[in-house]
Structure 1
């Protein structure tokens, strides 16, 4: 039984180590544009059933509750929490923030479509809108040469003023994607997530319509990590780790006592 207690405590150590890693990653990305914090979800392991509830104890009597012993805890999943981050003004005409639901769609180097809330876009040598890593925004939008002003409406319409012309010229429409279950998306780094069977297929639409958020030009969405809350979680995780460690030490002392005195 003592060995079982040490095993249970060990699962607690592993669980708290995992939670601490998730907290550390959240804090490391506190200044990452468009980052969404992660949360660990744990569940109890199987129970050892000694006697089932309702088992007969004597003639006409039965147990009112079962006799079970837990075997520990394990990580069942991690979730990204897609609450809105603060919008920070940058005064850069190609910086975009989504105020509400939706993701920007970006073509990855491997041909997959990545989804992100990071709207720090720029132009490549061809004038095409790209991410800081050079990945092309989908659908492609090309900004002509000699533009004097770029305007992106809340509905995603991109218009430019070309030198020598008096009227603005519409050059493209930014669309957003959303999912039935955004928490089912798989993070792959660089603030990108990709579609999975759990998320369902992407639902594409125009900003400010059909439940999609509106675009804010000249703004970026900051990380939704609450530093104070993460520090509180860190202290709580550290204390839980210490308790599990003390459980192992206490169990070891009990076993040593038995071996020395019996």
Structure 2
């Protein structure tokens, strides 16, 4: 009875993690650039108990012994970086990525961060009177050399699918050469990326950048493209999440009933002792 209650309680704890993940995915269904989270579970502890010798009967086909488990637990939390649908916005500072890549940013503390959502805008540098490309939170969008992307007050930017940035005025390119190139990286170890409240990704503590992301040269990479005037939507499927939610709820109900049954059996045993 004690083992059944331990197994049920352990399973309920793991299923609660699953429900939390599904709820988070559903809450971010309309969050631009959001990547679906998924969980991996494993048995807490499994061992083989031996049967009494009386169980060895003529004609028995199965081996002696039985497996005893103690429920499941959350082993890993991963993100699905598959492509989300692209939405046309027509805004010149909106960018979407096609392929497995992230835009690189610089936070106020100098730390690097990455983002999939390219809903950028301009802020004015009061010292130089230039427009600087930043995120909605005001963090700087970097070029491939780690510098800010700046243009004049009367200028706009035009970006090709290789991430090359051109300064324009009245719809005409000012100079033929790009003034910058968006810095784009490929996540090679997504499990080492931690998502923050701003839909940013930062490195896990005590990790090496080279083990987490790889700098991309889009002029040489045919798998990743930048799309100006577009935003990537969430890759969460409401149908899949509803299916996972129903399964998790049913599993939680079954574990709760097992826990209640174990408690009732303990009550009967205590009454017999009395």
Classify the TM-score, shorter chain.
0.7 to 0.9
1:219 shift after superposition: 0.3
Q: String of CA shifts for 1:28-80, please: whole Å, max 9, x gaps.
A: 1111111001001111012244349xxxx9xxxxx946543111211111101
Matches within 5 A, 1:156-195: 156-162=163-169, 167-169=173-175, 170-195=178-203
Distance 2:139 2:67 in 1: 55
TM-score w.r.t. the length of structure 1 is 0.88
SS at 1:128 equivalent: strand
Q: String of CA shifts for 1:151-209, please: whole Å, max 9, x gaps.
A: 1100111112235x964333211121113222332222211112344981421123353
Contact 1:174 1:206 survives alignment (8 Å): no
Partner of 2:59: none
Tell me how large the CA RMSD over aligned residues is: 2.3
Q: String of CA shifts for 1:123-153, please: whole Å, max 9, x gaps.
A: 1112111000000011211021212x43110
Contact 1:91 1:218 survives alignment (8 Å): yes
1:93 shift after superposition: 0.6
Distance 1:156 1:183 in 2: 26
Contact 1:105 1:137 survives alignment (8 Å): yes
SS at 2:201 equivalent: strand
TM-score w.r.t. the length of structure 2 is 0.84
Q: Which runs of 5+ in 1 are unaligned?
A: 58-62
Distance 1:25 1:73 in 2: 21
Q: Figure out how many residues of one structure are paired with residues of the other and give that number.
A: 250
Matches within 5 A, 1:13-32: 13-32=12-31
Partner of 1:239: 250
Contact 2:187 2:214 survives alignment (8 Å): yes
Contact 1:38 1:80 survives alignment (8 Å): yes
Matched, 1:90 2:89: yes
Q: Which runs of 5+ in 2 are unaligned?
A: 57-61, 126-130
Partner of 1:50: 49
Instruction: Identify which range, 190-199 or 172-181, moves more after superposition.
Output: 190-199
Contact 2:78 2:190 survives alignment (8 Å): no
SS at 1:91 equivalent: coil
Question: Which aligned runs of 4 or more in structure 1 are off by greater than 6 angstroms?
Answer: none
Matches within 5 A, 1:29-44: 29-44=28-43
CA gap 1:251/1:208 in 2 versus in 1, 3 angstroms: farther
